[in-house]
Structure 1
Amino acid sequence: MVQNLRDPATPLAGAQQLRKAFGDRATMVTADQGGHGVYPGGKNRCANHAVTEFLTTGDRPKYDYHCTAAAEPR
């Protein structure tokens, strides 16, 4: 799961509830940016990298993490 911190259409609290419901079946990457939609139009390189990695390899992050506004890919 990827989620913007300031998404006006799907607030962070809802994403956090969904993440909790998925349990060990998911991980969540939060991006310090606004707007609706993280990928591919978002400017957060760290979050974009996480999505590209999943789409190209099928590997998701081992842990939930937060991408700061100036974050580099993990």
Structure 2
Amino acid sequence: MGITDKGASNILMVQNERDPGTLLVGARKLREALGERAMMVTADQGGHGVYPFGTNTCANDAVTTFLVRGERPKKDLACEAQPATD
């Protein structure tokens, strides 16, 4: 049995564009398989962790909203790169 678009519709996927361990192409395939069950937040940054240690406030805010209020973005969200902070 594979992953399908049947089941609970409360999934939020969070992915860095340049994750060396979990490639974006794989996340996109999973997102497609899940259909409307999921929304995906993609952060234009590298590394394996997005939340809460990533510096992309767009992605962090979307995840915090989901965790606190249970609200996902209305559509997949692409968060632009942000300058690194010291």
Which TM class, normalised by the smaller chain length?
over 0.9
Question: What is the root-mean-square deviation in Å for CA atoms of aligned residues?
Answer: 0.5
Rg: which structure is higher? 2
1:32 is matched with 44
Q: How much does 1:2 deviate? A: 0.7
The number of residues matched between the two structures is 70
Structure with the larger strand share: 2
TM-score by length of 2: 0.80
Partner Cα distance (1:33, 1:52) in 2: 18
Q: Secondary structure at the match of 2:43?
A: strand
| Runs of 4+ in structure 1 over 2 Å off | none
More helix by share: 1
2:62 is aligned with what amino acid?
A
Please name the residue that 2:63 is paired with.
51
Identity percentage over the alignment? 67
Does the alignment pair 1:67 with 2:74? no
Structure 2: gaps spanning 5 or more residues: 1-12
Match of 1:6 among 6, 18, 27: 18
- The unaligned stretches of length 5 or more in structure 1 are none
Query: 1:65: Cα distance to partner?
Result: 1.6
